[in-house]
Structure formats: C-alpha cells, structure tokens
C-alpha cells in the first residue's frame, strides 16, 4: 500500500543501533535531509537487552518515529557458532525496543530485518510471499527466527493497536562502518580485509571459503538508508517489503571484483570444505520498484567507496 506521508523534519526520530553500519548510514542521510531532532544511544550508554533501561530511554526521548536498526549480526561462521546468542540477543533487542515504542504510543516505526528470513530453497527471485513456506538455511536459522519474530511483532501491533508500523527486509549489505573481523564478519568486508592484508604482505594466495558458486546480491548501505526514509514516507502495509538491487553474481566473481578494487593480484583459491550457505539468495524487489524506488549505487562504485573508508579508518576499525 502506498501512503505518501512526508515526515516533518522537526520530528523526533530515535534510531536504535545508530552506531552500527546501517544505523549510522540512516543517521547521515537524515541529517543531510534536514532532520534536526535525531536521538541515539551507544551500547555503552544503553544496553538494548535491558528492558527497564530501554523503556526509560524511550519515555525520556518521546520519539515520533522509531527506526530499529539494532541487531547482533555476523557471517556464516558467527551465526553457526553462536546460535543461542544470536537468537536470544536479537529477540530481546527487538521486543524491548518495540514494546517501549508501543508504550510511548509511537505511531511510525520501521523494523529492519534480513533476507535470511526466507527459506533456503525459496523460488528465485524471492518474493515476500515466500516467508514461512519452507525450511531455513541451518547456518543462520537462529538469527532468521529472531527476525521473523520481529516481523510478526510489527504485524501484531498493527492489528491490536492500529499503529502504522512497517518492516523491511534488506539483502546482503556492505559499506562504511562494516565489521571487518576476519571470522565474524560478512563475506564482503572479510574478503576486503584479507585481500588488503595479502597485498600488504606480498602474499601469493588468498583462500576463499566454499566452492565460489553460490549467487549473492549486495546492497550498498547508503542505498538502504535512502530506502528506509522512502518507505517511512511512502509505505504503510503489514506485509514486509524487500530492499535490494535485483541482480546477483557468483561469490567467486564478487571476490575477484573485491580483489581488483583493493589491487591484489595474487591467486584466489577456493576451499570447498567450508560451508557455502544458501545456493542463491536474490530478492524480488518489484514491489519496492513499483512504489518508485530503486538502488542507485553500482557494486563497483560501492566497493571503491567502502575500501576508501576502510583505508581511512584502519586504526579504529570495528573488528569484533
């Protein structure tokens, strides 16, 4: 459902997770768009797993809009190694933020999920209607269940309280502010770091996890920020909506493009003993496109911008 509702630039907007890659991109965009009342608290200032603290904070801020970009995130290794932590932490964060927003009678909320909510063998490209139609990818099923619960909470609050809350499911993300940990990060920042270090150390070879054949779609985080504002102003429906670019490429090709961006010229070797994850994960973004929004950053441009940010922030990178 399209519902044009331009947000007042004086609106009080609370961005949960505003220091993360997604939250910081949304913060930058809203500042550039003239929003003058932005609120956020770092994890040191506010533990979103602490229910009483979250309620106190939201009551103090009294936001008009809440954007829930807070989550415990990681790549295949982290998700499969710490499933209980990913499930528990994300459920607590979501429930606390949404319950506090509901108690404060916040009428407009955007919950950001993940494309891992969809079945491992969903028909490609994946439509929003594929949700709950099959088994999840086992390497990140705990995280996926938490995000599915978030969608359900948005829908339940809409039904019970009539609030104009929405949820959006972005595809794989990358960009400034990403986590570059060698094991716990997602594939693009992990590759970028490995290629950079290999180039710096004159290494002859970089080993890439898996067969290299799975197909993946990647969205530059600043494009997600633009989509988030667009949806808050143009979308009002209980059904979640996909956010992506609408095209994908094999992991091997993507690795080669990252290597070219970094300037690494050594060999790329696959390690098929490592998990591939879902064989293909391409989102159907026709509903979002039909509303009038599409991604504007090419993969190569996004990789160049991300690597420039990486070089500028080597001494202070998020590596945990």
Catalytic residue numbers read 143
- On whether 113 is known to bind a ligand per the annotation, the reply is yes
If you ran DSSP here, which 8-state letter would residue 66 be given? E
Residue 29 corresponds to which tokens in the numbers above?
Answer: 């965009």
Instruction: Confirm or deny that 301 is annotated as ligand binding.
Output: no
Token pair of 178, please? 């990403």
Residue 39 is classified by DSSP as: E
SS3 state of residue 164: strand
DSSP 249: E
Contact 317, 310 (CB under 8 A): yes
Q: Is 235 left (phi over 0), alpha (psi -120 to 50) or beta?
A: beta
Return the closest-CA partner of residue 299 out of 265, 266, 267, 255: 255
Q: Establish whether 213 is an annotated binding residue.
A: no
**Any binding-site annotation on 172?**
yes
Residue 186 known to bind ligand: yes
Residue 27 counted as an annotated binding residue: no
Return d(Cα 303, Cα 260) in angstroms, integer: 10
60 is in an annotated binding site: no
- 216 annotated to bind ligand: yes
Q: Does the annotation place 19 within a ligand binding site?
A: yes
Binding-site residue numbers for substrate are 194, 209, 216, 276
Binding-site residue numbers for NADP(+) are 17-23, 112-115, 147, 170-173, 186
Binding-site residue numbers are 17-23, 112-115, 147, 170-173, 186, 194, 209, 216, 276
């Amino acid at each position: 459902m399209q519902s044009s509702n331009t947000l007042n630039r004086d609106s009080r907007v609370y961005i949960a997770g505003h220091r993360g890659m997604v939250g910081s991109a949304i913060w930058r965009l809203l500042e550039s768009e003239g929003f003058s009342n932005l609120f956020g608290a770092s994890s040191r200032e506010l533990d979103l797993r602490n229910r009483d603290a979250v309620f106190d904070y939201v009551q103090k801020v009294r936001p008009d809009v809440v954007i829930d970009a807070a989550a415990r995130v990681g790549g295949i290794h982290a998700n499969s190694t710490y499933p209980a932590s990913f499930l528990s932490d994300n459920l607590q964060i979501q429930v606390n933020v949404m319950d506090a927003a509901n108690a404060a009678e916040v009428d407009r909320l955007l919950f950001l999920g993940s494309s891992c909510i969809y079945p491992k063998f969903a028909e490609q490209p994946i439509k929003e209607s594929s949700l709950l139609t099959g088994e999840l990818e086992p390497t990140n099923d705990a995280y996926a269940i938490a995000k599915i619960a978030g969608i359900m909470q948005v829908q339940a609050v809409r039904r019970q309280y009539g609030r104009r809350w929405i949820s959006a499911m972005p595809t794989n993300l990358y960009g400034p502010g990403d986590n570059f940990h060698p094991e716990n990060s997602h594939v693009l920042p992990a590759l970028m770091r490995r290629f950079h270090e290999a180039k710096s150390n004159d290494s002859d070879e970089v080993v890439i996890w898996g067969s290299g054949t799975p197909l993946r779609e990647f969205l530059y985080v600043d494009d997600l920020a633009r989509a988030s504002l667009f949806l808050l102003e143009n979308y009002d429906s209980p059904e979640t909506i996909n956010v992506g670019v609408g095209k994908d490429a094999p992991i091997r090709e993507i690795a080669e493009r990252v290597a070219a961006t970094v300037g690494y010229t050594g060999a790329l070797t696959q390690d098929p003993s490592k998990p591939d994850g879902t064989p293909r994960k391409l989102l159907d973004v026709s509903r979002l496109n039909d509303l009038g929004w599409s991604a504007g950053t090419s993969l190569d441009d996004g990789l160049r911008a991300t690597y420039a940010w990486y070089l500028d922030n080597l001494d202070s990178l998020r590596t945990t």
